[in-house]
Amino acid sequence: MSLQSEFAAAERAALVTVIAGAPHAKLLVRPDQSVEGTLGSEDLDAAAVTFAEELMWAERSERREVGDVSLFVDVMAPPPRLIMFGAVDFAGALCRMARAADWRPYVIDPRGRFATRERFPDAEEIIVAWPEDAFARIGGIDRATYIAVLTHDPKLDDAALHLALRSEAAYVGAMGSRRAQEKRRERLLEQGMTEEELARVAAPIGLDLGGLTAEETALSIMAEVVAVRNGRSGGRLSGSSGRIHEVGT
């Protein structure tokens, strides 16, 4: 199978191509950093792997330069995953919002009477299990996974956050008032989590849109995860001086 064919068949991979400054060549880089092919030198191959590792998880394709050599890093990636803990009304609205944005929404809750296909028809998968088992069933957490903890049940919240905050997840957000967040923080510190780990939590979850309904809350959360994915703060464009869209060259 050719490198181009292997790339087209991959779920996640990067195909790095020399486009100027050196003989045409290609290097296929997989998520585990294994490679096929060569760009003609160890230095170029090493640089290509570094670029591919960065862009594969940022899920964008870009042109990069190594001295006088121009490379194009073409990335293949599935839609990002948004994992929701808690089969609550907000999760239903968030599933709909995620689907509209071409994300893959998952709903996890050990309470089978709430976690049903009838309540969450837009979910990629509904998993009736505690967090540890649920994560195992979806293949673990990678750097293209975004996690939203939506319940107000300490047993479920704490178990989910323990795993999420010690994973490679790109984003971990948790619902709750500031008072509830402080109580959760105290519990997790008592359970052995560190200040550094807890600093990763986006809490209260979402952007400050002033929303009240489930749909408005879902929009707030979805807006935050999209901003995080794109390396943005989520502020108003009218107050921004930078580029509206970052386009790889």
On whether the CB atoms of residues 35 and 25 are closer than 8 A, the answer is no
- CATH architecture group of domain 81-229: 3-Layer(aba) Sandwich (3.40)
Q: What is the H or E stretch that residue 69 is in? A: strand 69-76
Alpha-carbon distance of 83 to 104, in angstroms, equals 8
Looking at the predicted structure, is the pLDDT value of residue 32 above 60?
Answer: yes
- The angle at the Cα of 224, spanning 221 to 230, to the nearest 5 degrees, equals 145
Over range 6-25, report the average pLDDT.
88
> In which residue are the tokens 């550094």 written?
196
C-alpha atoms less than 13 angstroms from C-alpha of 81 in its C-beta half-sphere: 20
What residue ranges do the domains of the chain occupy? 3-76, 81-229
Looking at the predicted structure, is the pLDDT value of residue 103 above 90?
Answer: yes
Over range 17-24, report the average pLDDT.
91
In sequence order, the 6+-apart residues with CB closer than 8 A to the CB of 45 are 27, 35, 38, 39
Q: 3-state SS of the chain: helix, strand, coil percent to 5? A: 35, 20, 45
Lowest mean pLDDT among 91-100, 112-121, 182-191: 182-191
Alpha-carbon distance of 170 to 144, in angstroms, equals 6
How far CA 44 is from CA of 26, 59, 183, 223, in Å, comes to 11, 21, 51, 37
On whether the CB atoms of residues 178 and 184 are closer than 8 A, the answer is no
On whether the CB atoms of residues 80 and 57 are closer than 8 A, the answer is no
Cβ burial of 102 (10 Å; 0-12, 13-18, 19+) is exposed
More confident residue, 246 or 23: 23
Predicted confidence (pLDDT) per residue in 170-183, tens digit: 999 998 878 888 88
What pTM does this model have? Answer: 0.83
Which pLDDT does position 241 carry in this prediction?
55
Which residue, 3, 17, 7, 4, is CA-closest to 64?
17
Give me 249's structure tokens. 């060259």
Given pLDDT bands bounded at 50, 70 and 90, which one contains residue 236?
Answer: low
Given pLDDT bands bounded at 50, 70 and 90, which one contains residue 233?
Answer: confident
Over range 78-97, report the average pLDDT.
92
Which pLDDT does position 232 carry in this prediction?
78
On whether the CB atoms of residues 76 and 7 are closer than 8 A, the answer is yes
Alpha-carbon distance of 31 to 7, in angstroms, equals 12
